């Protein structure tokens, strides 16, 4: 397996039959947290540039607004338009 940064990741899988039906339970917690982190990064960043995308901006704005409502502290947003990018 590979991590988000393309480094090799060794995973020890263990499995057990949990019923008489044809099924197999497997545990791979190291992979799960790494895969989850990698999937979140890929979902919220542009694949070409690696920069945060609109979904991440919206998520951070929602969190900042919620914090502002709770604490009464303000926050600022600065936007820059890059023509030809």
pTM (2 d.p.): 0.50
Cα separation, 71 vs 77, whole angstroms: 18
Cα separation, 37 vs 43, whole angstroms: 10
Positive or negative torsion for Cα 37, 43, 48, 51: negative
What tens digit of pLDDT does each residue of 55-70 get?
A: 888 888 899 999 999 9
Residue 25 has pLDDT above 70, yes or no: no
**Structural element, H or E, at residue 3:** none
User: What local confidence, expressed as pLDDT, does residue 66 receive?
Assistant: 92
Residue, of 81 and 27, whose pLDDT is higher: 81
User: What local confidence, expressed as pLDDT, does residue 82 receive?
Assistant: 75
User: What local confidence, expressed as pLDDT, does residue 78 receive?
Assistant: 83
């Amino acid at each position: 397996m590979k991590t988000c940064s393309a480094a090799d990741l060794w995973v020890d899988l263990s499995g057990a039959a949990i019923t008489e039906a044809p099924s197999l339970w497997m545990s791979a917690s190291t992979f799960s947290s790494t895969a989850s982190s990698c999937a979140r990064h890929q979902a919220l960043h542009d694949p070409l540039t690696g920069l945060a995308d609109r979904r991440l901006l919206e998520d951070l704005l929602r969190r900042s607004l919620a914090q502002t409502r709770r604490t009464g502290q303000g926050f600022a947003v600065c936007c820059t338009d890059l023509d030809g990018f």
